Chains A and B, each alone.
Chain A
């Protein structure tokens, strides 16, 4: 019963490495969930997807050019090409004929294709351990080390601090951009800052969640949290909690689950497990949330159908003053 032993080891946090990995994933999930919820509300849900995919060629280039396998160096490369991807989306959007959706899909697939091309070339280089890059595609949280967690912590603290500091302005921007601009707020700069935060978190999340599924950690917790509250602050906090929970659950699962029978993969990729944990939270919220959830709605509809109870649903259009 080795998995039971694993479970016990995990639960008691006796292994220092486990502690580090879980800490990093938890922080990452919290930051991704809360910043991602703002991005969802601002209508930028899928930009994180493009950024994450666009990061891959930067990682490979950093490896090829610098020959350094340490994570901070690779992530710096990721940041460079991720930002280039965002700039490319903006440049394409300046062209009236191509809309944002096509721009995102173009950047995502072209940059990722370039990343695949480069990663295959990395493998051809003598000493090009493909494991390092492969882990970045679908995520392998187990490979996180202390300094990675430190990097994640810095990015998360900066992002969460900025959200806390500018919460009032972010609410204004996300709700009513033109009103915010009429107050003289630099809405363009705020949009850019939000995008940069999403970009940074997506890239900090690459080692744990992977290029392909980082967007799940950015989008799903925010969408799930929206079911539980009508207050922005509550939604953002809850999204952070959901994100942390999903990241922890996915990481723990990958540590506990028995390795698949085949010898071709070393362990479970964490990205898909984290995404599935988030999807589970979303499904639970969709079904069970009070008022907005499926069950509450079905019950509410039944109450409405029974007229003698007189459900106070529709507000009177005009009230006397």
Chain B
């Protein structure tokens, strides 16, 4: 059992505030394909922070915020200018700007490394372990209570992010979905985008000192991407992203404690791990779910093909050869046996000494399939150029999917469910 003291809890709380604020805002970055802009900003604000350090000589967050905000603006401006003037592709322009600014920041920090308390390494992976050492007293309503300075700032960032997202959810959704529509409807997409980037940059800056540039990127992108795989609605996505952020912060801290390693690194590993889990296991979009779905579909189609075989075997008069000129569908043995077992289980077929036979319900379903098949053939015959002997294959594929609304509409369009291949039933001369 890990023993957690008050300092551990402060670190976790700070990281959780950071992760949830970044997660909320990151949802919009992911949706608008701006993930790399988040990456770029989180690197490019370094010279601003370094300049603030050099000028103020301290790590007080006020000056840092201003410096970083300026650097963030410079990034956005430079990238846009390079793209316009140099006609450089967008990703390359970002690459040029953020690497240059980050390099500048590292050089500035190295220059003064002896005189201030900052190490080039910590800009990458932060100082979150030392968060509890630096405390501030809260203002009036809670005067006398001292909390870690980073916690106070990041809790503030979380509040701002929550308020911003909940107040402007409707507008943000519209802009993320269709910026030009939003502009046409009178919301200034550009203005909202600028405000959004401003809030995001401020959150990145505040997170940067605590957790370093790399974890900021992880926290901006991973929770949003995880949520994107798990839910479909924006509101739910925000909630899931915040929860994923929280889980990454807490889980990452515990992992770091167990393995005696970097907290920021462990948190980004957990955030990435949650995404990987969602990628594999998401109930609707996960790889495993899709595999199972595909497999279930194959078995259903196999089962229905077997129903069709049984139905035709039991028909009193064989159809003319052209109508069912289908070779017996080849299916792997295990698929056939599994599909048959499923038919028995669902009560659509019975097995007796004479072999497999349809139950009344199975016969009903088989007749339904045949009706759908013939109606689809008739529909194709009426609507397309397909020659008569090409109708069977498409109908055979589609028949398994005709149900519900589609079945009702097909019936309305094509009331006649007799076989179009039978003489006298054709509408068009089959050559």
Contact = CB atoms under 8 A, between A and B. Distances in A.
Interface in A246-286: 260-265, 268-269, 271-276, 278-279, 282, 286
A286 B285 contact: no
Interface stretch (B105-113, B191-199, B329-337, B399-407): B105-113
A162 interface: no
Q: For the complex, would chain A's binding face be called helix, strand, loop or mixed by DSSP majority?
A: helix
A177 interface: no
B104 A272 contact: yes
Contacts of A215: 95, 99
B225 A102 contact: yes
B272 A276 contact: no
B259 to A, nearest CB: 7
A45 B221 CA distance: 19
Interface string B50-94: 000000000000000000000000000000001001111101111
Nearest to B219: A109
Given A106-B221, A109-B222, A220 B96 contact: yes
A95 B285 contact: yes
A117 B261 contact: yes
B257 to A, nearest CB: 12
B264 A116 contact: yes
Contact of A117 (B89, B218, B259, B285): B259
Contact of A227 (B86, B256, B265, B275): B86
Contact of B218 (A110, A118, A213, A223): A110
A201 B222 CA distance: 28
Nearest to A42: B89
Given A106-B222, A113-B214, A222 B103 contact: no
> How extensive is the interface on chain A, given as a class?
35 or more
A273 B111 CA distance: 12
A43 B99 contact: no
B367 to A, nearest CB: 38
B100 A113 contact: no
A213 B124 CA distance: 12
Contacts of A117: 256, 259, 261-262, 265-266, 269
Contacts of A265: 110, 113, 120
B23 to A, nearest CB: 13
Contacts of A196: none
B38 interface: yes
Contact of B107 (A108, A261, A276): A276
Nearest to A99: B33
- Most chain A beta-carbon contacts within 10 A, residue among B89, B113, B256: B89
Contacts of A213: 99, 102-103
Interface in A27-63: 40, 43, 45-46, 49, 53
B121 interface: yes
A237 interface: no
Nearest to B290: A95
B214 A112 contact: yes
Contacts of A45: 89, 91-92, 95
Interface string B109-125: 01111110001110011
A73 interface: no
Nearest to A279: B100
B369 interface: no
Contact of A105 (B125, B221, B269): B221
Nearest to A277: B103
A134 B88 CA distance: 33
A101 B96 CA distance: 16
How many residues of B sit at the interface, in one of the four size bands? 35 or more
A134 B82 CA distance: 33
Contact of A223 (B88, B125, B256, B273): B88
Contacts of A137: 121, 124
B215 interface: yes
A49 B96 CA distance: 12
A43 B114 contact: no
B27 to A, nearest CB: 11
B91 A263 contact: no
B330 to A, nearest CB: 29
A187 to B, nearest CB: 19
Contacts of A40: 89, 92
B264 A113 contact: yes
Contacts of B33: 99, 101-102
Interface in B259-283: 259-262, 264-269, 271-273, 275, 279
B119 A92 contact: no
B267 A276 contact: no
A240 B125 CA distance: 33
A74 interface: no
A276 B100 contact: yes
Interface in B116-158: 119-121, 124-125
A32 to B, nearest CB: 13
Contacts of B273: 110
B18 to A, nearest CB: 14
Given A95-B229, A261-B114, A105 B35 contact: yes
B228 interface: yes
B162 interface: no
A172 interface: no
A97 interface: yes
B296 interface: no
Nearest to A262: B114
Interface of A: 40, 43, 45-46, 49, 53, 91-92, 95, 97-99, 101-102, 104-106, 108-121, 124, 134, 137-138, 212-213, 215-216, 219-220, 222-223, 226-227, 260-265, 268-269, 271-276, 278-279, 282, 286, 292, 294, 297
25 contacts: A95-B229, A97-B228, A97-B285, A99-B30, A105-B39, A106-B221, A109-B214, A109-B268, A110-B218, A110-B269, A112-B124, A114-B269, A114-B272, A120-B265, A219-B92, A223-B93, A227-B86, A260-B112, A262-B114, A263-B114, A272-B102, A276-B103, A276-B104, A279-B104, A286-B86
> What 9 pairs across the A-B complex have the smallest Cβ distances?
A262-B114, A110-B272, A113-B268, A116-B265, A275-B103, A279-B100, A109-B218, A216-B99, A272-B103
